[in-house]
């Protein structure tokens, strides 16, 4: 069974930075993609960013472009989310997910097979 584990959340002031980490383990082969999603209180879970290991490409939600950066190590099934210039509206539980589907559409929640437990990010104004 695949396990996805996030770490690195916390409380930060507006304008500050945080770095989240995520590792997937439990399979002999790497996922085709890993992504970050977030869910604020009372809202649906939404796409933040993802990396497609097959193409090497990355995708970002418009709300985080220019502020967030995803990176990772395919060999270690690990991704990172560097979050800069944080805003109060970035406050949410951040989830990491892994997809083992060859033609994954990385922006869609349903395309991911395994999810982490989530890590809280709180940005104070």
Handedness of CA 31, 32, 37, 43 (dihedral sign): negative
Write the pLDDT tens digit of every residue in 30-83: 899 999 999 999 999 999 999 999 888 999 999 999 999 999 999 999 999 999
Helices and strands, number each (H, E), in the chain: 0, 11
> Both tokens of residue 29?
């082969």
Tens digit of each residue's pLDDT (9 = 90 or more) over 77-112: 999 999 999 999 999 999 999 999 999 999 999 999
**8 A C-beta contact, residue 93 and residue 20:** no
Which positions ≥6 away from 91 have C-beta within 8 Å? Answer: 40, 121, 122, 123
């Amino acid at each position: 069974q695949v396990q996805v584990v996030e770490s690195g959340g916390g409380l930060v002031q507006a304008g500050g930075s945080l770095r989240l980490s995520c590792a997937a383990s439990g399979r002999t082969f790497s996922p085709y993609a890993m992504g970050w999603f977030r869910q604020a209180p009372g809202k649906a879970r939404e796409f933040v960013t993802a990396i497609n290991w097959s193409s090497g490409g990355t995708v970002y939600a418009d709300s985080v472009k220019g502020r967030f950066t995803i990176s990772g190590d395919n060999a270690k099934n690990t991704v990172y989310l560097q979050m800069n210039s944080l805003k109060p509206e970035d406050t949410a539980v951040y989830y990491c997910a892994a997809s083992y589907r060859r033609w994954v559409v990385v922006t869609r929640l349903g395309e991911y097979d395994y999810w982490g437990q989530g890590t809280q990010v709180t940005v104070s104004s």
